[in-house]
Structure 1
Amino acid sequence: MNKNVIEKVEYLRAKIRYHDGKYYVSNMPEIEDYEYDQLMKQLEMLENSHPQLITPDSPTQRVSGEPVPEFKSVEHKIPMLSIENTYSEEELREFDRRIRRKLKNTRLSDIAGRTSAQEGSLELIEEIEYVIEHKIDGVAISLWYENGIFTRGATRGNGIRGDDVTANLRTVKDIPLRFLCDDHIRIPPSIEIRGEIYLPDGDFQILNQRREEEGEPLFANPRNAAAGSLKLLNPQTTAKRPLRLFAYAFGYYGDSKFTDHIECLETIKKFGLPVNPHYKLCKNMDEAISYCNLWESRRSELEYQVDGMVIKVNSLGLHGILGSTSKAPRWVISYKYQPEESTTKIETIKVQVGKTGILTPVAELDPVPLSGTTVSRASLYNFDEIERKDIRVGDCVIVRKAGEIIPQVVKVLKEKRTGNEQRFDVPEKCPACEGDVIKEEVYLKCHNPLCTAQAKRRIVYFASRNAMNIEGLGPALIEQLVDKKIINDYADIYSLKVDDLVPLERMGEKSAQNLITEIEKSKSRDLHLLVCALGIQNIGSHAAEVLSKEFGTLDKLMNASVEELEEIFEIGSITAKSLVDFFSNSHTQDVIRKLKTAGVNLTAISRHTKSVSPIAEKSFVVTGTLNGYTRKEAEGIIKNLGGRVSSAVSSKTDFLIAGESPGSKLTKAKELGTTILNTEEFEKLINL
């Protein structure tokens, strides 16, 4: 083995780990995404050429190649107990009084782990220091490191045993596969770090938007999405979910010497794991309560969901004296915020059919104000949920915005029933086509390929902004076109004529002509937009770009084998099979023949933008709500003109495009002196 190859591999791994720490832990990236990707590609090429050099902690090994058949159960070395909850300040003060009663005769000298200077102190403990942290609404997990290398990860489970989800946790980029700390920091032989896996609000909304567009059932809230992602059998699918981590404590730490919780948090950060930045050391319970109340009014500023604050005794020595019950430690309590709820009535329950055939029950509500909006509908997610909560048409119910995002029926007020409420029967046939439905896991699914409801959803998705972007062709018009049998699939869009459109509701001669013009314009869209628009299961906009770049034409993509597709970076076995199954379907082939006949572009459009556009080779970050563009559209324009798009502001960012509610990225850009553009200035730049 060439010594230079070994040194190059180690150099690249060390550099990638360094930049992982800057991005995920310090939130101060030093290089752009493109430069990071180039480092990763160099490492992948070397490891592919010399597979004997691949190690489990290499940055390339985040996503294992094969799905796991099932999750093994593992026992926690130290139980992951639950935390006692309270919703009142008085109960927090009682918690403090209870601790001080327990420690009434305790002196500093009685506390294990005190320094030599304190061992002889006879001073009694009167005030208790507390550390306050956000109570992240996510999934508790345990991470084991052996000599600084990540070896196992598990869910909390029942507190004694959890599921081994190591393969999926390896895909979470916040979790270092090897500690990122400096050489002088002592790494214990074995150590367990506990934390919370969560999904940021923005990513959750994007994930649900994609699922809705693809006809898949929505996640109820960010926590459910995070939990569902961790329990996927294919790590490659988990890798596509933007899961994040906040580490919050050590579980087992062997003979390591720590005196307080603050020291533990600082050490976890040194090891290279992200810790929530908003923790605070408070000298007594009064100060702790003030900090809790501060965040109750400010939690809407956060990019993730919190449902309260966690209050921990700072001294680890006192943890040992206070001990635990069989369910919860006595040295910690959570102060939970009251969720905003409203009471309303279920007027009816309707069943929606997605483009993949999944049937989703939706409650139509008597409109009610909630969290700043008027709520009139709430997804019931699946029919098992209706049965579990015994939800009936006519019921008075409590609704809450789950994760303050999606309206959810929390509880049925059975005491208000009059006897006129009606049970909702689980459909045995598809409500759209009368086809048979089959239960798959917790979902009912219609498998009729000619189902009109599925056709409508596929056409809506095809014409949507992130796909072929046919302005004026919305759900209401598509509903009419399909119901009147003017079109049957999305290829039929290109056979529409003005005379077909004019008789329809809210359509006139001018509106019809404008729509025909928009349809004609869409024929020249780039290949990756068409691939995305086809609605192939497991293929979103990013995967469509990867495939378009790889194959160049739709014909080549259609003829690709599973083996060819699996060789493409970011395309796994499940996605490859979805593609082959889709293109081998005779109905799909007929639709694509119609697209060809209509003159729809089936080729990737080459762009020659270097030295032409002032944007070429410049780095951009887009934040906030832009006037006239979605964030994705703005980023697409930048890429088309040869620019680079990053998700975080750094010293190498040339421009920040800032819309309304830009958040912390604007503050960071101002600190770094980055050029900040509003929407109008951005338009001027791209039109130069």
Structure 2
Amino acid sequence: MSSTVKEKIEQLRCIIRYHDHKYYVENNPEISDYEYDQLLRELQNLESAHPELITPDSPTQRVADQPISQFPAVEHKKPMLSIDNTYSNEELKEFDQRIKRMAGINANTDIEYVVELKIDGIAITLWYENGLFVRGATRGDGFRGDDVTANLKTIRQIPLKLSVSGAHYKIPPVVEIRGEIYLPNKEFQRINEEREEKGEIQFANPRNAAAGSLKLLDPRITAKRRLKMFAYVIGYVEGMELESHVQCLDFVKAIGLPVNPYTQLCKNIDEVVRYCREWDKRRGILDYMVDGMVIKVNSLALQEQLGATSKAPRWMISFKFQPEQAITRIEEIVVQVGKTGTLTPVANLTPVLLAGTTVSRASLHNFDEVKRKDVRVGDHVVVQKAGEIIPQVVKVLEEKRSGREKVFVEPACCPVCKGPVHRDNSEVYLRCHNPLCKAQTKRRIQYFAGRDAMDIEGLGPAIIEQLVDKGLVDDYSDIFSLQYDDLVNLERMGKKSSSNLISAIENSRGRDLDRLICALGIHNVGLHTAEVLSDHFDSLGKLSNATADELEKIHEIGPVVAQSIVEFFQNKHTQEIIKKLLAKGVNTGKLASDMPRKSSKVAGKSFVITGKLQKYSRSDAEKLIKRLGGRVSSAMSRKTNYLIAGEDPGSKLDKAKELGVVILDEEAFYLLVG
């Protein structure tokens, strides 16, 4: 093989990567489309003649030739947490004061913040090893997402191989970049026009279109959608120490990823408020949807000190723009039945465009709310989107009434099963308590099969609807009696999808106890509470026999939750379902590998982990500490008992020394945990 051919191929790749960056990242092309196409065609011809020289990072490998079969799950190295929201200048200033109180900073001292546009898109993570793009995933539930690497490769703003501009930085051995995938407004309009011409259903908004494009099994179709990306944070990095968020963004730009040009460093909270107010007025000039601003503490050391709750970082907040409003008419009020029997009034509206979406339905929340606002069928109303997502009726325009409007009467029975309904003493909601109500059955099964519960992939609402209506399933325990022949003749179910669903059902029998508790749909019990209960009771049998007093003694379980649990397990219908689950081989105990094994050396102690561990992954080490009764924190404080320091420990090691915290290397940690 001539070295000249190898050199020519690598030279062409470097030139094309350079022009990709100029065009897609900097929006500053230096050559025409024709000249670019000629370069790409020359590279394709050379690689076709010498296929042994094709590499995964070559510009010719952005679009896969064949559809993929599925999206494997990816566990995030660090959780992709959500962001707390605020809607007023006063709340922004309260956020600033809260930061200072938690960090022990004088109330009159200024804190630097970085303010970024909150892009209304899809959060993703990009994983690079030695500069090569290895894997990309969606946020998912924050702890694991879907591997959408093939589709992310089609986005030319995402480099397949990192290169550094300038000598200030170097490519780290491992780096994870997080960002937002979005669809420009013009592209959204173009795609919807094409879909309309083909007689296909149009996308509701640019965000839905972006999400749908990322989940296409054929990357060739995704490539035609012209998605774009802005990177906004380093999720994880090895072999590199950075001091500020501004420095992180500078590094991200230096290695070739796009950062939003309207990011602003503010010296204090007053500058933050002014910048947010400015963009609330200017957002209409952008060719992409934004629904607010994101405010982050600039100092990484202060971020680390502040840490996070189980849901969101304490050092970051989102300032949401006031939602747009529109006037429309209520054509009908219908009643929906939820998984726990809750009856919810919903308004069917004359379709109206609102914040980029055509809205035809809006929740009326509960019947007291309908009475308070005096909402009637035929009323003209003001609607807006709560958090720019969920349409809601804000107020009735009484001056537009003609006298033909109809007062809505609260239902005396369930609209589905016609069974009696009543209002619980402590709640504003009406409930249907008929355990055989088909509407509840469908919602309960849908919840039971959900990702946070039994995670039965392929068992979606359309399939559940058919299974219940055809009498194949009466409750969620019947899922485990389904056979291939029950599924293959359903609409939207072929041979392969039926086989896959049977396999998914079989796999779900062995889910751990916390997943099963969550899946049961106990009122007031979600995934976190299910984990708390699973840690305290090692079997469903023990939990089902617990008294309200026993439950209330558990940290995080209050009287309302305790009473919900007791009432759930006392219900005869529930008892029959649990017997059926046991008979069908569903695991109802805590898996041995996760059974708590308290250790006197670890129980009650607080740990922080920093640097890279060799024997354990960080998540495994955290699970082990928790299993032994300890706590894991992300921030160093005087309450920290141990710092576990792996390779390249960074600033946490210095902080531990300063605070007098006991420092363990990996070997000492093994000895401690035994």
Q: TM-score range, shorter-chain basis? A: 0.5 to 0.7
Residue 155 (str. 1) matches residue 144 (str. 2):
no
Contact kept? 1:398, 1:409, Cα under 8 Å: no
Q: Deviations over 1:305-360 (max 9, x none)?
A: 110000000000101111111111111000000111134224489xxxxxxxxxxx
Alignment correspondent of 2:121: 138
Alignment correspondent of 1:6: 6
Among 388, 413, 418, the alignment partner of 2:407 is: 418
RMSD: 3.6
Q: Cα–Cα, structure 1 residues 369 and 52, in superposed 2: closer, same or farther, change >3 Å?
A: closer
CA distance in 1, matches of 2:38, 2:361: 45
CA distance in 2, matches of 1:139, 1:370: 20
- The Cα of 1:179 is off from its aligned counterpart by 1.1
Q: Cα–Cα, structure 1 residues 394 and 211, in superposed 2: closer, same or farther, change >3 Å?
A: farther
Contact kept? 1:397, 1:409, Cα under 8 Å: no
- Counterpart code for 2:181: I
1:283-432 aligned at under 5 Å gives the runs: 283-347=267-331, 378=359, 399=383, 410-411=391-392, 418-419=407-408
CA distance in 2, matches of 1:183, 1:282: 26
CA distance in 2, matches of 1:368, 1:10: 54
- What SS class does the counterpart of residue 295 from structure 2 fall into? strand
Q: Cα–Cα, structure 1 residues 173 and 94, in superposed 2: closer, same or farther, change >3 Å?
A: same
Alignment correspondent of 1:99: 99
Contact kept? 1:346, 1:394, Cα under 8 Å: yes
- Counterpart code for 1:331: W
Q: Cα–Cα, structure 1 residues 380 and 101, in superposed 2: closer, same or farther, change >3 Å?
A: closer
4+ runs of 1 displaced by more than 3 Å? Answer: 182-185, 346-349, 363-371, 377-381, 390-404, 411-417, 419-424, 440-444
Alignment correspondent of 1:90: 90
- What SS class does the counterpart of residue 157 from structure 1 fall into? coil
* Structure 2, unaligned runs of 5 or more: 334-346, 363-369, 397-404, 417-458, 464-674
- The Cα of 1:413 is off from its aligned counterpart by 7.8
Q: Cα–Cα, structure 1 residues 289 and 213, in superposed 2: closer, same or farther, change >3 Å?
A: same
Q: Deviations over 1:486-530 (max 9, x none)?
A: xxxxxxxxxxxxxxxxxxxxxxxxxxxxxxxxxxxxxxxxxxxxx
- Counterpart code for 2:110: E
Residue 200 (str. 1) matches residue 189 (str. 2):
no
Q: Deviations over 1:421-457 (max 9, x none)?
A: 9999xxxxxxxxxxxxxxx99899xxxxxxxxxxxxx
Q: Cα–Cα, structure 1 residues 245 and 340, in superposed 2: closer, same or farther, change >3 Å?
A: same
- Counterpart code for 2:155: V
Among 148, 156, 181, the alignment partner of 2:164 is: 181
Residue 236 (str. 1) matches residue 220 (str. 2):
yes
- The Cα of 1:35 is off from its aligned counterpart by 0.8
Contact kept? 2:157, 2:228, Cα under 8 Å: yes
* Structure 1, unaligned runs of 5 or more: 107-123, 350-362, 382-389, 425-439, 445-688
Contact kept? 2:377, 2:407, Cα under 8 Å: no
- Counterpart code for 2:100: R
- What SS class does the counterpart of residue 330 from structure 1 fall into? coil
Contact kept? 1:246, 1:275, Cα under 8 Å: yes
- What SS class does the counterpart of residue 252 from structure 1 fall into? strand
1:10-159 aligned at under 5 Å gives the runs: 10-104=10-104, 126-159=109-142
Q: Deviations over 1:350-387 (max 9, x none)?
A: xxxxxxxxxxxxx996697978x9x9x75679xxxxxx
Q: Deviations over 1:195-240 (max 9, x none)?
A: 0000011111111111112111111111111011001111111111
- The Cα of 1:296 is off from its aligned counterpart by 0.3
Contact kept? 1:397, 1:410, Cα under 8 Å: no
- What SS class does the counterpart of residue 280 from structure 2 fall into? helix
- Counterpart code for 1:77: K
Q: Deviations over 1:233-253 (max 9, x none)?
A: 111111110100000010001
- The Cα of 1:397 is off from its aligned counterpart by 6.4
- The Cα of 1:16 is off from its aligned counterpart by 0.2
Contact kept? 2:353, 2:359, Cα under 8 Å: no
Contact kept? 2:386, 2:392, Cα under 8 Å: no
Contact kept? 1:319, 1:331, Cα under 8 Å: yes
- The Cα of 1:34 is off from its aligned counterpart by 1.1
- What SS class does the counterpart of residue 259 from structure 1 fall into? coil
- Counterpart code for 1:418: V
Contact kept? 1:135, 1:310, Cα under 8 Å: yes
Q: Cα–Cα, structure 1 residues 379 and 347, in superposed 2: closer, same or farther, change >3 Å?
A: closer
> If the length of structure 1 is used for normalisation, what is the TM-score?
0.52
Alignment correspondent of 2:149: 166
Contact kept? 2:351, 2:359, Cα under 8 Å: no
Contact kept? 2:384, 2:392, Cα under 8 Å: no
CA distance in 2, matches of 1:293, 1:411: 25
- What SS class does the counterpart of residue 200 from structure 2 fall into? coil
Q: Cα–Cα, structure 1 residues 399 and 209, in superposed 2: closer, same or farther, change >3 Å?
A: farther
Contact kept? 2:130, 2:174, Cα under 8 Å: yes
Q: Cα–Cα, structure 1 residues 380 and 14, in superposed 2: closer, same or farther, change >3 Å?
A: farther
Q: Cα–Cα, structure 1 residues 183 and 341, in superposed 2: closer, same or farther, change >3 Å?
A: closer
- The Cα of 1:77 is off from its aligned counterpart by 0.5
CA distance in 1, matches of 2:387, 2:105: 44
CA distance in 2, matches of 1:100, 1:67: 52
CA distance in 2, matches of 1:99, 1:295: 24
CA distance in 2, matches of 1:78, 1:192: 10
- Counterpart code for 2:289: Q
Q: Cα–Cα, structure 1 residues 138 and 370, in superposed 2: closer, same or farther, change >3 Å?
A: closer
Alignment correspondent of 2:247: 263
CA distance in 1, matches of 2:348, 2:198: 22
- The Cα of 1:419 is off from its aligned counterpart by 3.4
Percent identity among equivalent residues? 58
Residue 273 (str. 1) matches residue 257 (str. 2):
yes
Q: Cα–Cα, structure 1 residues 392 and 220, in superposed 2: closer, same or farther, change >3 Å?
A: farther
- The Cα of 1:67 is off from its aligned counterpart by 1.3
Q: Cα–Cα, structure 1 residues 401 and 158, in superposed 2: closer, same or farther, change >3 Å?
A: closer
CA distance in 2, matches of 1:293, 1:327: 27
- Counterpart code for 2:407: T
Equivalences, count: 385
Contact kept? 1:146, 1:189, Cα under 8 Å: yes
- Counterpart code for 2:77: K
CA distance in 1, matches of 2:136, 2:39: 27
Alignment correspondent of 1:684: none
Alignment correspondent of 1:465: none
Query: Which region of structure 1 is more displaced relative to structure 2, 93-102 or 410-419?
Result: 410-419
CA distance in 2, matches of 1:295, 1:276: 14
Q: Deviations over 1:76-110 (max 9, x none)?
A: 0011111110111111111100111122259xxxx
CA distance in 1, matches of 2:376, 2:53: 61
Q: Cα–Cα, structure 1 residues 380 and 20, in superposed 2: closer, same or farther, change >3 Å?
A: farther
- What SS class does the counterpart of residue 251 from structure 1 fall into? strand
- The Cα of 1:3 is off from its aligned counterpart by 1.4
CA distance in 2, matches of 1:54, 1:147: 18
- What SS class does the counterpart of residue 66 from structure 1 fall into? coil
CA distance in 2, matches of 1:321, 1:409: 35
Contact kept? 2:293, 2:319, Cα under 8 Å: yes
CA distance in 2, matches of 1:192, 1:244: 18
Contact kept? 1:394, 1:421, Cα under 8 Å: no
- The Cα of 1:291 is off from its aligned counterpart by 0.3
Contact kept? 2:361, 2:391, Cα under 8 Å: no
CA distance in 1, matches of 2:151, 2:376: 38
